[in-house]
């Protein structure tokens, strides 16, 4: 990984992943970056090979716009959340539907698998997040407390905590490692952002990052609830945040057509990738340290 910060980036327009009949709302990369999943207003989920752009399959079943997609860490499962208030979990191997999860009362805006793929967390316009048991399809925990849409969720590396980001300008961190459904989950409320929270992410060391429409990224100590750094520089809404595998850097993608890379220790921006994606909505580091950013239709790879 980078020793003195990422320096030499090459920008490669990998592929336009087409085929949807309406606007693409979401994209997810598998952990090994071998497959890409997209969700659209056409109520379909499409799966592609990341390196070649080869179309693999289409997943049907939702009766509303697909707002969010996720791939389990072992790439065996795909989850999709929809305006139809449901979450669907599909088997990657044969595209069979494993579960249709019903529990939210409004549109599902975000889904995320736990690191061991045993749990799934969903966030909704109904102001709740629900943690589901993947094998059974049953709800495990219902997380209440936000005053507005739950737009983002993330599990900590060991699956002990889950963070939820909301349009109420707060991030909540919930401890979920107890076994009893009826036992309340303890949590922290992190305040300081002045805009909707659109993305949250944990580092391997349990540092939490949040990206907001106030155009900043904040880094948090979840043991104390204190803000470690406020990273300012974007001139557009921050849509996504992600940590490098070693936890040294955090990348943020914004509506200002930039992806910025920040040093976790001092909170300083060490690299800005400009004009490579039109309103970057997603970003992620590959296991080898390459940074991938995705806009509305084009995926751009930035290599160190």
Average pLDDT over residues 48-68: 90
Would you place residue 285 in the very low, low, confident or very high pLDDT band (cuts 50, 70, 90)? confident
The token pair at 279 is 């309103």
Average pLDDT over residues 21-26: 79
Average pLDDT, the chain: 87
Of 57, 54, 30, 33, whose CA–CA distance to 46 is shortest?
Answer: 57
How far apart (Å, rounded) are the C-alpha atoms in residues 91 and 130? 21
For residue 245, give the DSSP letter: T
The token pair at 155 is 């599990």
Would you place residue 12 in the very low, low, confident or very high pLDDT band (cuts 50, 70, 90)? very low
The token pair at 237 is 């809404």
How far apart (Å, rounded) are the C-alpha atoms in residues 91 and 162? 24
**125-174 confidence digits (pLDDT tens):** 999 999 999 999 999 999 999 999 999 999 999 999 999 999 999 999 99
pLDDT at 291 over 80: no
- pTM flag (> 0.75): yes
User: 23 exposed, middle or buried (CB, 10 Å; 0-12, 13-18, 19+)?
Assistant: exposed
Please check whether residue 119 is in contact with residue 131, taking contact to mean a CB–CB distance below 8 angstroms: yes
Q: Which residue has the higher pLDDT, 283 or 224?
A: 224
Please check whether residue 108 is in contact with residue 66, taking contact to mean a CB–CB distance below 8 angstroms: no
Give the pLDDT score at 15.
46
Distances from the Cα of 95 to the Cα of 159, 164, 274, angstroms = 26, 29, 37
State CA 243 to chain mean position distance.
11
Domain ranges of the chain: 10-303
Give the pLDDT score at 81.
98
Q: Which residue has the higher pLDDT, 8 or 88?
A: 88
How far apart (Å, rounded) are the C-alpha atoms in residues 301 and 285? 10
State CA 281 to chain mean position distance.
10
In total, the chain counts a number of residues equal to 304
CATH fold group of domain 10-303 = Methylamine Dehydrogenase; Chain H (2.130.10)
pLDDT at 226 over 80: yes
Q: Which residues touch 275 (CB under 8 Å, ≥6 apart)?
A: 257, 258
Give the pLDDT score at 11.
43
Give the pLDDT score at 263.
97
Distances from the Cα of 111 to the Cα of 22, 54, 65, 68, angstroms = 21, 25, 14, 6
Would you place residue 185 in the very low, low, confident or very high pLDDT band (cuts 50, 70, 90)? low
């Amino acid at each position: 990984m980078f020793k003195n910060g990422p320096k030499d980036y090459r920008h490669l327009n990998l592929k336009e992943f087409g085929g949807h009949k309406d606007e693409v709302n979401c994209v997810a990369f598998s952990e090994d970056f071998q497959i890409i999943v997209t969700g659209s207003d056409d109520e379909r989920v499409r799966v592609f090979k990341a390196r070649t752009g080869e179309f693999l399959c289409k997943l049907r079943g939702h009766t509303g716009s697909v707002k969010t997609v996720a791939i389990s860490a072992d790439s065996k499962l795909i989850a999709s959340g929809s305006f139809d208030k449901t979450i669907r979990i599909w088997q990657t191997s044969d595209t069979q539907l494993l579960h249709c999860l019903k529990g939210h009362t409004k549109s599902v805006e975000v889904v995320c698998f736990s690191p061991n793929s045993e749990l799934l967390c969903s966030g909704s316009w109904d102001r709740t997040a629900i943690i589901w048991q993947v094998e059974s399809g049953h709800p495990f925990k219902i997380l209440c407390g936000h005053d507005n849409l739950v737009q983002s969720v993330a599990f900590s590396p060991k699956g002990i905590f889950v963070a939820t980001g909301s349009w109420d300008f707060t991030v909540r961190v919930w401890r979920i490692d107890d076994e009893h459904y009826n036992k309340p989950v303890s949590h922290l409320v992190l305040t300081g952002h002045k805009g909707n929270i659109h993305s949250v992410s944990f580092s391997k060391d349990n540092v939490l990052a949040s990206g907001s429409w106030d155009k900043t990224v904040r880094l948090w100590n979840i043991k104390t609830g204190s803000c470690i750094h406020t990273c300012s520089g974007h001139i557009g809404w921050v849509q996504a945040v992600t940590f490098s595998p070693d936890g040294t850097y955090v990348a943020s993608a914004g509506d200002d057509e930039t992806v910025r890379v920040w040093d976790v220790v001092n909170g300083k921006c060490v690299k800005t990738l400009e004009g490579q994606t039109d309103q970057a909505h997603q970003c992620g580091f590959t296991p080898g340290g390459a940074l991938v950013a995705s806009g509305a239709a084009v995926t751009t790879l930035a290599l160190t």
